[in-house]
Structure 1
Amino acid sequence: MTWVHPDATFGATRHAGELLARLPDGTIPTYRVGKLLAERLFVDAWDRDGGWWQGPENGRPDQQPAHLVPSCECGWYGAEIPYDVTGGEIPRPGQEPMRDGASRTAQAAWRDHAAAALTAAVPEPHRQALAQLAATAAELAEERPRAALTLSRQLRDLAALLEPLAVAGALAHHVTWDTIGADLGQSRQAVNGRYVKPSADLSDRVHRLTGQTVEGLLSLARGRGTPPPGAATWAEEIRDLLGSPEEDQKHTEPAAQ
């Protein structure tokens, strides 16, 4: 089964989704196409129990899978979904049951992946929140300029915390370094170099947030079907970043001459 993303923008065709499946022995069935080995796609029937394997008849499994695996042509693999051959939605009165619940769960996971990989636009609720913050910051700059300077520092520090998590998340969805650089308004070489040879400051931030080295975080991000760790200490880091009014005052007092 193949899913096509409705987004007609450049790169959307690179993210066509495919439904794979894993047998009870843990393998994903394959078949040979010339010298290449292709993974068999699986179709989960909506109108009857179970489903069927696509591909050539020769070597086609006679077993139903134990798990479904959402995947994408870009190389992304989602988390495995336990497969119940009778699974699906409870029908409404007078309707037939839909027995492809697991495959629709897989499709939803792929859809989330495709949106993450293709969409750089900030969602409208977040844009509105950012606009409100910008308006508040502008008022603060007029009324309390030193407080606005403190806020500017805090926002800069927040962006520094957010970036490595976003980079790892993008790599987990097979976003290229070229695209990551463009999203950050920088060149591929600048961004890639910053993470291949991380500074002590970047290494410290990543370790505080995730317990990983920068190399370890990026390796986990590229792992098949395994999302990178989130910010386990995010709330703590934000509390430290914001501090208290007394700490802000100490931080901004100039040293005695």
Structure 2
Amino acid sequence: MWQLDTDHRAAHIGAALGYLGDDERAPTYRVGRAHYERTWRDGQWEGPEEDRPETPPDFLRAVCSCGWYARVLVEMHPDAASSRRRVPQGQDRARAFWLAHALAATSAALPDDAEQARARAMEWLRTLADSQPLAALALTRQLRADVDEIEQRAVRHARALEVPWEDIGAAVGTTRQQAWRKHKGLAPLDEKEARDVLRPTFLPSYQHDDGHPPYTVTDIDLTPLFD
């Protein structure tokens, strides 16, 4: 199972359900009176040994603890026969589908140090306004242009993550219609930009200039629960 390190409330824990052949449902196991769908992780079925499938899954579907299910199946074997829509590349591809969902779902959460950084910047600007008012006025003019640029950049990235206009409008304090009218002319991210937005950080080539990824994905081992 997977969790973004930025998801402090653990509201979006991801996993990959396994499917056998053309079966419409994932294999299940029972704990007490409850039934759970089996997930596939690191080459084995999760869950207790009883009734565990003897063969690997033919397809995977990314799911999230919030109730989200990927709309497509990921094909585990290139020669697997099925008429259903599927995408190759196995477990990493399934995790990439979940990652795109989790990034969009957690994109409204402010980093822990965001408010402190804003407060420090405002304190510095107030000091500048008191001591050098004309310099402060010139800087505020530039900051307005910078804020507009950041807003447009954020909107383009949000749309690449399929964040709905309603959520974008709420983030900037407007309605969905107002946000759409203001930003509908923005060009979508090109193929490379979109790929960078959605690139999982378990691919080491994606890093900030300081060598650190913008977020990390943690694998959560649930095996001890069933030992």
TM-score w.r.t. the length of structure 1 is 0.45
Instruction: Tell which structure's C-alpha radius of gyration is larger.
Output: 1
For normalisation by structure 2, the TM-score amounts to 0.50
Q: Which has the higher contact order (CA 8 A, sep 6+)?
A: 2
Structure with the largest fraction of helix:
1
